[in-house]
């Protein structure tokens, strides 16, 4: 099993659903695989935002800042902001920490001072209770560490 992160696939050729296919990257590298998870290119669902916040949406349909422009009491977090980082719950929690700090600051009649800085990729993928893979702060981790961090509990204990 191999994992390829950050590769732009240009050409898919050969094979059928049950056989291996060849994938060609932007760098010209050919990768043969029998299973690929496509994890990009989704359409942003922002219809409700277009009705209420159309003037502050950028060309991608996202809100440019955690604090919505023109509003002192509305904040945006997670997938809807165009910060160049993975759109994961981990990053959304970090956005929420910054927003909550700034909301508290606003309540004390001060200007919000905290800004979110783009983070390196942080993601853990569990393959059952005993295996997984991930990337934390730019470092790829294998099954042993993924198992210690996530596979045993899937972070369910954090949600209780």
Q: Is 53 helix (H, G, I), strand (E, B) or coil?
A: helix
pLDDT score for 16: 45
Distance CA 125, CA 134 (A): 6
pLDDT of residue 79: 84
Residues listed for the chain = 160
Q: In this predicted structure, what is the pLDDT of residue 113?
A: 67
Place of tokens 């509305």: 74
Contacting residues for 125 by C-beta, under 8 A, at least 6 apart: 132, 133, 134, 146
Q: Where are the alpha helices (DSSP H) in 12-125?
A: 47-53, 89-107
Can you give the pLDDT at residue 145? 81
Of 53 and 156, the one with more pLDDT: 53
Structural contact between residues 8 and 25, judged by C-beta atoms closer than 8 angstroms: yes
Read off the pLDDT of residues 5-53 as tens digits, 9 standing for 90 and up: 555 555 555 544 556 778 787 788 887 776 666 655 566 778 888 888 8
From residue 136, alpha-carbon distances to 108, 115, 142 in Å are 35, 21, 11
Number of Cβ within 10 Å of residue 106's Cβ equals: 15
Note the pLDDT tens digit of each residue in 95-113. Answer: 888 888 888 888 887 776 6
Average confidence score pLDDT of the chain: 75
Instruction: Break the chain into its structural domains and give their ranges.
Output: 1-41, 47-107, 122-159
Taking the C-alpha atoms of 39, 45, 49 and 51 in order, what is their torsion angle to the nearest 10 degrees? 150
């Amino acid at each position: 099993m191999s994992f390829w992160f950050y590769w732009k696939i240009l050409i898919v050729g050969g094979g059928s659903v049950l056989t291996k296919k060849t994938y060609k990257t932007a760098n010209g590298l050919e990768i043969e695989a029998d299973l690929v998870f496509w994890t990009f290119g989704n359409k942003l669902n922002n219809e409700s935002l277009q009705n209420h916040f159309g003037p502050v949406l950028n060309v991608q349909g996202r809100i440019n800042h955690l604090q919505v422009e023109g509003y002192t009491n509305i904040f945006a977090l997670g997938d809807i902001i165009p910060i160049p980082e993975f759109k994961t719950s981990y990053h959304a929690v970090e956005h929420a920490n910054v927003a909550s700090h700034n909301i508290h600051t606003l309540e004390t009649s001060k200007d919000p001072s905290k800004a979110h800085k783009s983070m390196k990729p942080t993601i853990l993928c569990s393959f059952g209770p005993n295996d997984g893979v991930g990337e934390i702060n730019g470092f790829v981790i294998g099954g042993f560490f993924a198992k210690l961090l996530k596979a045993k509990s899937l972070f369910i204990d954090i949600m209780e």
